[in-house]
Chain A
Amino acid sequence: MAEHTEESAAAQEGAAIQDPATAKNAQLLALLQRLFGADTFTDVEEPYGLLTVTTTRERIHEIIAGLQQDQELQLHFLTTMCGIHYPEQEGKELGMIYHLHSLVNNIRLRIKIFFPIADPVVPTLTDLYATANWMEREAYDFFGIIFTGHPNLIRILNVEDMDYHPMRREYALEDGTREDKTDLFFGR
């Protein structure tokens, strides 16, 4: 048994040296830039092996539609999408993060877009992916992101008469006026 463990450890090390993920990501990025232009994508990163690119909301619909139809990449599975809020990023407070997956080539891609909180309007993907419907309603519900062209943009998990978007950072989880839970060291 011990021998077996050593072998697989050695195999893992070998894989790390070649690092096929990095090569794959470089290839994917080159393809993306060829398809949509070299300056379309900013902030290219590879956190934990997953290629992450940032683009603009003006181009997001076109890019995801293009990737869905591309015969080579076949990124035609929208794994998930979610909103995010960075209050300190001036003019780019809100964001949407899309995870795409090619079930044929087993490639994953993460695309981010950022936009100002004063104008949280993003094109919908419901015309491309039926699954985007509830995901976008969730992002609207929790972050107040408006998806233009969405057929039924109403709250999904929270009550309809809620008048704020609770996942935004300014809404504390606990009642801010409580003093019995204040802790000098751990900041509750």
Chain B
Amino acid sequence: MAVNDTLEGTSKIIQEAREQQQNSGMVPTLNDFSQELTTLNLGPTHPATHGIFQNILQMDGERIISGVPTIGYIHRAFEKIAERRPFYQITPLTDRMNYCSSPINNMGWHMTVEKLLGVTVPKRAQYMRVIAMELARITDHLICNSILGVDTGAFTGFLYVFQEREKVYEIYEEICGARLTTNMGRVGGMERDFSDVAIQKLRDWLKTFPAVMKEFESMFNRNRIFMDRVVNVGPITAEKALNYGFTGPNLRAAGVDYDVRAMNPYSSYEDFEFEIPVGTKGDTYDRFMVRNEEIWQSLRIINQALENLPEGPYHADAPHYYLPPKQAVYKNMEALIYHFKIIMGEIEAPVGEVYHSVEGGNGELGFYLISDGGRTPYRLHFRRPCFIYYQAYPEMVVGSSLSDAIVTLSSMNVIAGELDA
């Protein structure tokens, strides 16, 4: 009797609790599930984002309904720091923006300062810079494309081309002594001439690399599995891309043939023959193909620059701005004075403002420098291509699945260092 009473009482309690829960909406019904959105944090430290940035995605099952990017995780206040540094000390800051193609950033910055100071760089130094910049472009594109392969599940291509990137880094080492954050060149030219070893390594690499690149392309370009993953994924129209301020391979994949090297040639790019590949749909496959073709065009430019490398000095005759050789500093009064003044940042910079842009690894990399004649820039603004085009990302992935969002992000070549400055 007592047992039965207890059981009845218990079942009553359970029944009441269940009713209460359903009335308060705590127990979801089937109807609720179909309307429920899942909030998914893609990042900040997700291996597939290749950098520290977060996307808060609203998912309806597999479909992305909306995305909110959060950036700034590695913001290092470069623009503010640059206001307290002499011009030559800003070069290491530029290294750390797009660290996949540091030489382009370095050269872009040197050219900006040279434009301000009115220094003309000799032809040999310009050609040397072109070689360094095109090597950087190749490594930048190699990383982007091979990582895209990794994100689609093809690891092999990545390993093949990373060996080649390593060889390019060895060439950097011969040119400037550093590998990743190169701090290459100086205001007024290069810091030293190409050594025989550098030229030899470059020639060897130019011989071996095309075969590897061909192998890489034959692995991906018409691969059915790869194409199924990337064709029509994350497309953007040319109009939208322009409105979003796209530049570089991402804009060209959408069909706009804007390339700073061709439109506003700098550092003697007008001397070289190269083509600007364009895509049609601006999807992930187009971006991949445009980058691959640009690697071939960069190789063409390097070959032309190396074959026609002019004789002559590798830096401008500008003692006010270009450091004298160290030996001279010990023996020669003028050299010591110039050395001291340059190192202490006491060079005479004119008052003025200059905007200079170069074709970076992922778009138009611009430097807007305002000088008030002091030892440091009054204001330095970097036009960072990543920062500008990454805001289109939510629009490009809405409606696609999570796996498509990952390959889209990968193919946009967003470099966290440049994004956050």
Query: Interface on A for B, CB 8 Å cutoff?
Result: 1-2, 4-5, 8, 47-48, 50, 52, 76-80, 82, 84, 97, 99, 103, 106, 108, 110, 129-131, 133-135, 138, 142, 155-159, 166-167, 173-174, 186
> Smallest distance from the beta carbon of B51 to chain A beta carbons, Å?
14
**Is the beta-carbon distance between B312 and A142 smaller than 8 angstroms?**
no
Nearest 10 interchain pairs by C-beta: A131-B245, A157-B72, A82-B381, A80-B383, A157-B75, A1-B310, A134-B391, A173-B84, A48-B354, A130-B243
**Is the beta-carbon distance between B80 and A79 smaller than 8 angstroms?**
no
A108–B368 alpha-carbon span in the complex (Å):
13
Residue B134 at the chain A interface, CB threshold 8 Å = no
Residue of A84, A103, A174, A186 touching B370 (CB-CB under 8 A) = A84
Interface size class, chain B = 35 or more
Of B89-97, B150-158, B256-264, the one touching chain A: B256-264
Residue of A47, A79, A155 touching B383 (CB-CB under 8 A) = A79
Residue B87 at the chain A interface, CB threshold 8 Å = no
Contact residues in A for B269 (Cβ distance below 8 Å): none
> Smallest distance from the beta carbon of A76 to chain B beta carbons, Å?
7
Residue B352 at the chain A interface, CB threshold 8 Å = yes
Residue B418 at the chain A interface, CB threshold 8 Å = no
Contact residues in B for A79 (Cβ distance below 8 Å): 245, 357, 364, 366, 383
**Is the beta-carbon distance between B355 and A4 smaller than 8 angstroms?**
no
> Smallest distance from the beta carbon of A88 to chain B beta carbons, Å?
11
> Smallest distance from the beta carbon of B10 to chain A beta carbons, Å?
50
Known contacts A47-B352, A99-B368, A130-B391; A167 and B310 CB within 8 A of each other = no
Can you list 9 A-B contacts (CB < 8 A)? Answer: A8-B271, A47-B353, A78-B245, A80-B388, A99-B366, A110-B355, A129-B243, A131-B391, A173-B80
Main secondary structure of the interface of A (DSSP, over half): mixed
Taking A1-B310, A156-B71 as known contacts, 9 extra A-B pairs with beta carbons closer than 8 A to each other, sorted by chain A number, are A2-B311, A2-B312, A48-B116, A48-B355, A80-B381, A130-B244, A131-B389, A142-B79, A186-B344
Known contacts A79-B364, A103-B258, A156-B72; A134 and B387 CB within 8 A of each other = yes
Residue of B72, B312, B368 touching A97 (CB-CB under 8 A) = B368
**Is the beta-carbon distance between B391 and A99 smaller than 8 angstroms?**
no
Residue of A97, A130, A166 touching B77 (CB-CB under 8 A) = A166
Residue B242 at the chain A interface, CB threshold 8 Å = yes
